[in-house]
Structure 1
Amino acid sequence: MSSPAPMPDPAPLDNIRFTTDGVPAARRRTYWREALATTFGAVDIGVPDEVRSGTIRMAALGRVQAVTVESEPQTARRTRSLIACSDNEDFVVVKLLTRGGARVEQDARDSAVHPGQLFVYDMARPIRMALPEPFETKSLVLPRSVLGLGESDLCRITASPLGSDTALGGLLVPFLSRLVDTADVCPEPVGELVTRNVVDLLTVLADEQRGAGATDSPQGVRVLMTRIRAHINANLADPDMTPATVARAHHISVRYLHKLFEGEGITVSRWIQRRRLEECRRALARRNAAGVTVAGVAHRWGFTSASHFSRVFREAYGLTPADWRDSNVSARTVPADRTERAEALPDRAA
């Protein structure tokens, strides 16, 4: 299959790889079919006779591709003959449906997928996917070697929708969505770290599907730590959060919780304090920080004593909170939109 025609106007957004904007109506259907096949491999794509709009955004995260597709109804079918003549059969796609509905068939499973659910499919085996209404998807395209799952384990999780109402989906869905949305401005180490979390969660999903315990493997331990960090991040404003409440929320002992954090080289209490300090530091550096009080920021992020907060902040950063706020207000002369977008990544949820 020939490559798609050059994108008509790549200037406005440098992470748009393909768009139907500017493509003549007579060529739009062919252009869009080839754009999808180029992005996701040799696939038999069915699209409407009259394609009105479609956009594919891509960004690289090391060996992983982050892809957002907005388009009209379509079907996709990857047959054994297409797989045989393709050079990308060693890739696995993790796809989050953010708008529209879908139906996916692979490995003898035929599943309906709803907005907010994600699913996995293997490019090395036949698949059929139908999207009967306008849709948006966010995907990670991973080499099989990055995922690290064997054939039988991968077969257990393909075409099995996972939503945010499940324990694993509640972590996977926001991770994947944020990672794809910010991939173009994501610092490489952060992108790799969050991608690793996605991979670890998929590994634990495979473990659960075969009946293995959640912490029977190193991957399971990593995912438990991911859950614990996510819980801490979500409850930083609660001054009553302690190692005991964190352990209770995850059905483990306080002793085991401390053992987990020993491997991180930090105590649980120290990690909670460090995260609170980081959020306070960020809040005091914002554009509207001139009118906020140090005590207000401290209380917002779970510190009960303003004087204690000022002391630990100075120990951590070498400045008092007020000095840090004032220095950022006076020194701010250029927009920091890209920096703020990058900092918005859930790097502590790793």
Structure 2
Amino acid sequence: MAVPDRFDYWVELLGRAHAPMELRSDHADDFRASQRVLDLGAVTVWSGAFQSQVFRRTSKLIRQSDPEAYNLSFILHGTGTGMWRHRETRYKPHDLFITSTSLPNEIHSSGDPVTTVAVEVPKALLPLSRDMAGRIVGAPVSGREGMGALLAGFLTQLTADTAAYQPADRPRLRTVLVDLVAALFAHLLETGDSLPPETRQRALTLRIQAFIREHLHDPRLTPAGIAAAHHISTSYLHRLFRGEDATVAAWIRRLRLEAARRDLTEPALHATPIHAIAARWGFPRATDFSRAYRAAYGTTPQDHRHQAFRGDE
């Protein structure tokens, strides 16, 4: 971009890619910044480098446009301060900071340049009440240890070299990221002091859902086994899922079918037998898989695969 247009274009770019915001910088007359975006569908990952600036998202801007998303940024170089109505937090390299497009904030960043990798996740994938969101947004999180390190490491590796990934990898990468963010949120909620029961319940539900996704391949994954792994009763597990859109067993079955459906249309797995894909996702009996698949999608696994690859044959 031409020098006089750089900063205004940067403001416009961030507004389109993320959410409208006010920006100011002492370097506006000769501003330098870059951003690389990795589109994973509902989830977006990016790496960026920019000169010191102030980001401000006001109540007015939120009323005008709110994509309703959480943003988690891992700082590689630079420092910053985030200010919300409920908290002020200072950041340094190897820290993660969490913002919400729905909460007014002012972020001061400094460095030459500031470099970050970040992920933006729709709130619909991580449903939290406004009270719980307030506990998470702005919470200090280290990217050197624990859940923060897992997320930071994955983001860093993912953005370092995207050449090895194919378009078909997007759903898998998106699932991993959502699981890591959900696990981090659950950890932050559970370690808070004097949390109300409903907050602890939601944190536990997020942790259980991440556990289910991680063990989908295990045919022994059952409500009783899940409850035992989390030291709760099976009846309490079912109560936790009353607020979800399916029972525990139905939730497991739906995720398994979705995963198998993706694999059936994956070109790299075209030669893999259907029964092997079914077994990979927790359906050891091919007849059970075919019956569940037809009930969910109105077609058999074989017909769906044939339809998906008909143009290639």
- TM value normalised by structure 1: 0.57
Of all paired residues, the percent bearing the same amino acid is 26
Q: Match of 2:218? A: 238
Pairing 1:303–2:280 present: no
Code of the residue aligned with 2:239 in structure 1: it is: K
Q: Match of 1:104? A: 80
* Aligned residues between the structures: 277
Residues 76-130 of structure 1, C-alpha deviation per residue, up to 9 Å, x if partnerless? Answer: 247xxx999x954888995433563242224554332427x23338975664322
Secondary structure at the aligned position of 1:101 is classed as strand
Code of the residue aligned with 1:148 in structure 2: it is: R
Unaligned runs of 5+ in 1: 1-22, 179-193, 334-350
Q: Match of 2:162? A: none
Asked if structure 2 preserves the Cα contact closer than 8 Å seen for 1:68 and 1:137, the reply is: yes
Q: Match of 2:130? A: 148
Asked if structure 2 preserves the Cα contact closer than 8 Å seen for 1:294 and 1:322, the reply is: yes
Asked if structure 1 preserves the Cα contact closer than 8 Å seen for 2:259 and 2:281, the reply is: yes
Residues 37-80 of structure 1, C-alpha deviation per residue, up to 9 Å, x if partnerless? Answer: 96663343244986555248799x9xxx97957333x22247xx
Residues 170-212 of structure 1, C-alpha deviation per residue, up to 9 Å, x if partnerless? Answer: 789989xx9xxxxxxxxxxxxxxx99xx89x869957854521
Specify whether residues 207 and 148 from structure 1 end up closer, same or farther in structure 2 by C-alpha distance, changes over 3 A only: farther
Deviates more, 1:32-41 or 1:296-305: 32-41
Pairing 1:211–2:194 present: yes
Code of the residue aligned with 1:70 in structure 2: it is: G
Deviation of the 1:237 alpha carbon: 1.0
Indicate which of 54, 59, 71 corresponds to 2:49.
Answer: 71
Q: Match of 1:284? A: 264
Residues 250-277 of structure 1, C-alpha deviation per residue, up to 9 Å, x if partnerless? Answer: 3322221122234446442333223222
Asked if structure 1 preserves the Cα contact closer than 8 Å seen for 2:46 and 2:117, the reply is: yes
Asked if structure 2 preserves the Cα contact closer than 8 Å seen for 1:164 and 1:171, the reply is: no
- TM value normalised by structure 2: 0.62
Specify whether residues 259 and 331 from structure 1 end up closer, same or farther in structure 2 by C-alpha distance, changes over 3 A only: farther
Specify whether residues 141 and 258 from structure 1 end up closer, same or farther in structure 2 by C-alpha distance, changes over 3 A only: closer
The alignment's C-alpha RMSD in Å is 5.2
Pairing 1:253–2:236 present: no
C-alpha distance in structure 1 between counterparts of 2:278 and 2:129, whole Å? 41
C-alpha distance in structure 2 between counterparts of 1:43 and 1:265, whole Å? 40
Deviation of the 1:247 alpha carbon: 1.6
C-alpha distance in structure 2 between counterparts of 1:93 and 1:264, whole Å? 20
Q: Match of 2:99? A: 120
Deviation of the 1:330 alpha carbon: 1.9
Deviation of the 1:297 alpha carbon: 0.8
Deviation of the 1:32 alpha carbon: 5.7
Unaligned runs of 5+ in 2: 123-127, 159-176
Deviation of the 1:164 alpha carbon: 9.1
Pairing 1:320–2:296 present: no
